[in-house]
Amino acid sequence: MATHDLTTPLINTVINTLVVGDEVNLSGVIYMARDAAHKRFVELIQKGQPLPIDLRGQVVFYGGPCPTKPGHVFGVVAPTSAYRMDPYATVLFDHGLKGAIGKGNRGLAMRDSCKKNTAVCFSAIGGISATLLSCIRSAELVAYEDLKTEAVQRLVVENFPLLVTNDAAGRDLYEEQVTLYRKTLEV
């Protein structure tokens, strides 16, 4: 396993160096969006209409903010279960999105989509919300204000700590680790 310091937007040559289990410190712009925003993105794509943001080369964070306290850039933010975005994420990967951040495992379609599109899925470990918040340098609402906590936010992050859970080779960290664990039980 390796540690990578990456900056967005992500490009194929960089994505191809990532392997499941690698640690990543991500800096640059990421977009925070969840289910409702993803649904709207896919509806626009299906109608042949432009998205409110250009997702090519970008990374989306499936997170939800708490209210912002005075003197803070943003409210405490926690990763959302990634599998909830699977019905939409493959469509977004087909349209140039290069990375997704959530928590937990993804389905087979996502593994295939990562391989097909030279993309990657990351996990932000649940329970480190204060650490994630400390990595957010700025936040700006950029689309779908009516969705409130599910509105699309443009975040500038520095050294956002992540783990590669699905790589461009189609590997899945969760599946591999469960398989290894089961083998230890057989001994």
For 59, the token pair is 């990374």
Confidence of residue 179 (pLDDT cuts 50, 70, 90): confident
Average pLDDT value for residue range 92-116: 95
d(CA 134, CA 26): 13
Q: How far apart are CA 112 and CA 80, in angstroms?
A: 21
| pLDDT tens digit sequence for 24-61 | 999 999 999 999 999 999 999 999 999 999 999 999 99
Cβ neighbours of residue 28 closer than 8 Å, sequence gap 6 or more: 7, 8, 9, 156, 157
pTM for the full predicted model: 0.91
Q: Which pLDDT belongs to residue 3?
A: 96
pLDDT value at residue 187: 66
Residue 64 predicted with pLDDT over 90: no
What pLDDT, on the 0 to 100 scale, is given for residue 178?
Answer: 77
> pLDDT per residue over 143-163, tens digit each?
999 998 889 999 999 999 999
Q: How much of the chain, in percent, has pLDDT values that exceed 90? A: 71
- Band of residue 126 on the pLDDT scale cut at 50, 70, 90: low
State yes or no: pLDDT of 79 exceeds 70: yes
What pLDDT does residue 132 have?
A: 83
Q: Which domains, ranges and CATH numbers included, belong to the chain?
A: 3-186 (3.20.130.10)
Q: Residue 29 class from Cβ within 10 Å (0-12 exposed, 13-18 middle, 19+ buried)?
A: middle
23 DSSP 8-state letter: E
pLDDT recorded at residue 7: 97
Judged against a pLDDT cut of 90, whether residue 186 lies above it is answered with: no
